[in-house]
Amino acid sequence: MTVNLLESDTVIVVFGASGDLAKKKTYPALFGLYKNGFLPASTQIVGYARSAIKLEDFKQRIISFLKFHPSEHQLVDEFADKLHYVSGKYDDDASFINLNRYLERLAENKHRINRVFYMALPPSVFIPVAQNIKKNVYTQQGFNRLIVEKPFGRDSESSRVLMKALSASFKEEEIYRIDHYLGKEMVKNIMSLRFANVFLGAIWSKEYIENVQVTFKEPFGTEGRGGYFDEFGIIRDVMQNHLLQILSLVAMESPASLDAEDIRTAKVDVLKCIEPITRDNIMIGQYVRSADGSKPGYLDDDTVPSGSNTPTYAVASIFVDNARWKGVPFILKCGKALNEQKAEIRIQFRDVENCIFPNHSRNELVIRVQPNESVYMKIMNKKPGLSMDTVISELDLSYRRRFSDARIPEAYESLILDALQGDHSNFVRDDELNEAWRIFTPILHEIEREGIEPLKYVYGSRGPEEADQFIESHGFQRDRQEYIWTEDQVSSTQ
């Protein structure tokens, strides 16, 4: 049964509808919402792109990317009936006037209709598309919302130019800047863990926490899209947005309420307490071919400029200079072509003072974002038997066991639904973006200006060998005993 979440009819316009992002993320997310009853039956979805594609061919292309059970063919057909396609240029008045006529025909005989514009586009066309929407497609008969995909600029200056241009066409409350990590179930769960559990709230400070690691690892390289990646690098692609967003949720003070603006203000307040990253607090790397030669190095990608110093790996230590966190390193680590797929938050607590047990390891709270969503606390436990030897064990909340009947929505489903409902909680506000770029712009400019050479690491490894020493120098301590998290048999010390 459809849940009527919107007060009136809505049309969603997907710009860049023929591109990879739209096919692999946007349309599958919209189908997921429809399949689970979160898109009103009257919603229409209009794809817009430069490619001249027949509607039926476009529909078949989109359907080929949808995940569904054979028994759900009727749902797929119903969803396909909602799909439309208009081709046109991104910087041409006539093309957008034609798009507007199409949207008006869809809205015939309807008193009020809303328009949601999703920009699944390269950043080079954000500004002309936003300007043309405002000039030619903006409705006066309902609300207008603009969903913008990252990257939101390359540094502070380019971000300000983009924000100024967008704000000339749309109000801040109409803009929804997507960082899809904010839509992930376990990232959204951070606030519940922190502020709904008294025992965690009591120890969430420098008095008990030694360091915090936020890790993002991918087991594949650029694989033919290195030319695009080379424009940004891993710091802009992952660290400045995904990992810093997670840091702000882990470190922020309790917001005044669950209101979107209260939450976003609390995040901004934390970012204001962080000094820009310096060269002493960051290490960069770039992968070379795998040990067996089967996987190419970054520079072996024909689309990557010869001799590029763009980092594919980075680890940085960030400090929040306030009463709660002063002196506690937040270690952000991300990389491509590593040994596994993983995103997690690892909060390592201080040593037990005057501990009477030998081989004691620190307690850790681990929030596994992906894969296999879970929360577990590493604790010391008496080893079963006659001795008093201790062993590392865990208090484990693995979602696929505890919530086996629950469906965890894809991040894009969650965020698109938030945008449709007008909930800004999980979107990036303009002042938040300013602070994020303030922290990273100086070091990004220094890396590029001075041509800092990234450390080399082998495709499929854990990253540069020097990274372990860097992380340990900032307070992280590896377990004194071997420990394997049994949920997926991945070593939790990696």
pLDDT digits (tens, 9 = 90+) for 238-285: 999 999 999 999 999 999 998 889 999 999 999 999 999 999 999 999
Euclidean distance between CA atoms 273 and 330, whole angstroms: 13
For the chain, what is the mean pLDDT? Answer: 87
Query: Residue 314: phi, psi to the nearest 5?
Result: -155, 145
Q: In this structure, what CATH number is given to the domain that contains residue 42?
A: 3.40.50.720
Same domain, yes or no: 230 and 332: yes
Euclidean distance between CA atoms 487 and 391, whole angstroms: 17
pLDDT over 70, % of the chain:
89
What's the one-letter identity of residue 478?
Answer: R
Looking at 149, 174, 196, the residue that finishes a domain is 149
Specify the residue for token string 């639904």.
417
Euclidean distance between CA atoms 140 and 114, whole angstroms: 9
pLDDT at 374 (0 to 100) = 82
Q: Which of 208, 252, 171 is nearest to 435 (CA)?
A: 252
Euclidean distance between CA atoms 359 and 482, whole angstroms: 11
Same domain, yes or no: 218 and 328: yes
Does residue 169 lie within any of the structural domains?
Answer: no
pLDDT at 6 (0 to 100) = 47
Query: Residue 37: phi, psi to the nearest 5?
Result: 85, 25
Q: Which of 196, 184, 191, 214 is nearest to 373 (CA)?
A: 184
User: HEC states along 309-370?
Assistant: CCCCEEEEEEEECCCCCCCCEEEEEEECCECCCEEEEEEEECCCCCCCCCCCCCCEEEEEEE
Looking at 99, 131, 149, the residue that finishes a domain is 149
Beta-ladder partners of 49: 87
Residue 4 pLDDT class (50, 70, 90 cuts) = very low
Q: Is the pLDDT of residue 338 over 90?
A: yes
Answer for the pair 316, 270: CB distance below 8 angstroms, yes or no. no
Same domain, yes or no: 77 and 186: no
Question: Would you please indicate which residues are annotated as catalytic (active-site) residues?
Answer: 242
Q: Encode pLDDT of 187-226 as tens digits.
A: 888 888 899 889 888 899 999 999 999 999 999 999 878 8
Lowest mean pLDDT, pick from 62-71, 130-139, 167-176, 258-267: 62-71
Burial (CB count within 10 angstroms: exposed 0-12, middle 13-18, buried 19+), residue 155: middle
pLDDT at 149 (0 to 100) = 85
Same domain, yes or no: 88 and 195: no
The total domain count for the chain is 2
pLDDT at 393 (0 to 100) = 66
pLDDT at 489 (0 to 100) = 41
Domain that includes residue 393, residue range: 182-474
pLDDT at 494 (0 to 100) = 41
> For residue 29, what are the contacts with CB-CB under 8 A and spacing of at least 6?
410, 412, 413, 416
Q: Is the pLDDT of residue 111 over 50?
A: yes
Same domain, yes or no: 296 and 386: yes
pLDDT at 404 (0 to 100) = 60
Q: Is the pLDDT of residue 481 over 70?
A: no
Higher pLDDT, 39 or 479: 39
Answer for the pair 35, 3: CB distance below 8 angstroms, yes or no. no
Same domain, yes or no: 275 and 401: yes
Q: Is the pLDDT of residue 5 over 50?
A: no
Same domain, yes or no: 126 and 207: no
Same domain, yes or no: 84 and 208: no
Euclidean distance between CA atoms 59 and 82, whole angstroms: 10
Same domain, yes or no: 368 and 417: yes
C-alpha 313: how far from its chain's center? 17
Upstream peptide bond of 371 is cis (omega within 30 degrees of 0): yes
**How many other CB atoms are there within 10 angstroms of residue 321's CB atom?**
11
DSSP per-residue string spanning 431-467: HHHHHHHHHHHHHHHHHHHHTPPPEEEETTBSS-THH
Rounded to an integer, the average pLDDT of 400-412 is: 68
Does residue 486 lie within any of the structural domains?
Answer: no
Query: Residue 482: phi, psi to the nearest 5?
Result: -70, 135
Does residue 35 lie within any of the structural domains?
Answer: yes
Euclidean distance between CA atoms 99 and 139, whole angstroms: 12
Rounded to an integer, the average pLDDT of 24-53 is: 91
Rounded to an integer, the average pLDDT of 108-125 is: 85
Rounded to an integer, the average pLDDT of 40-62 is: 92
Same domain, yes or no: 306 and 453: yes
Does residue 136 lie within any of the structural domains?
Answer: yes
**How many other CB atoms are there within 10 angstroms of residue 77's CB atom?**
11
| pTM more than 0.75 | yes
Same domain, yes or no: 145 and 217: no
Query: Residue 155: phi, psi to the nearest 5?
Result: -165, -175
Does residue 455 lie within any of the structural domains?
Answer: yes
Q: In this structure, what CATH number is given to the domain that contains residue 258?
A: 3.30.360.10
Q: Would you state the structure tokens that stand for residue 378, as one six-digit string?
A: 């590493």
Does residue 168 lie within any of the structural domains?
Answer: no
Does residue 160 lie within any of the structural domains?
Answer: no
Same domain, yes or no: 284 and 140: no
Residue 3 pLDDT class (50, 70, 90 cuts) = very low
Q: What is the CA radius of gyration of the chain?
A: 24
Query: What is the end-to-end Cα distance of the chain in Å, rounded?
Result: 45
Rounded to an integer, the average pLDDT of 464-474 is: 90
Does residue 323 lie within any of the structural domains?
Answer: yes
pLDDT at 479 (0 to 100) = 58
Q: Would you state the structure tokens that stand for residue 319, as one six-digit string?
A: 């400090």
DSSP per-residue string spanning 44-110: EEEEEESS---HHHHHHHHHTT----GGGHHHHHHHHHTEEEEE--SS-HHHHHHHHHHHHHHTTT-
Lowest mean pLDDT, pick from 70-74, 302-306, 425-429: 70-74
**How many other CB atoms are there within 10 angstroms of residue 318's CB atom?**
26
DSSP per-residue string spanning 178-230: E-GGGGSHHHHTHHHHHHS-HHHHHT-STTTEEEEEEEEE-SS--TT-HHHHH
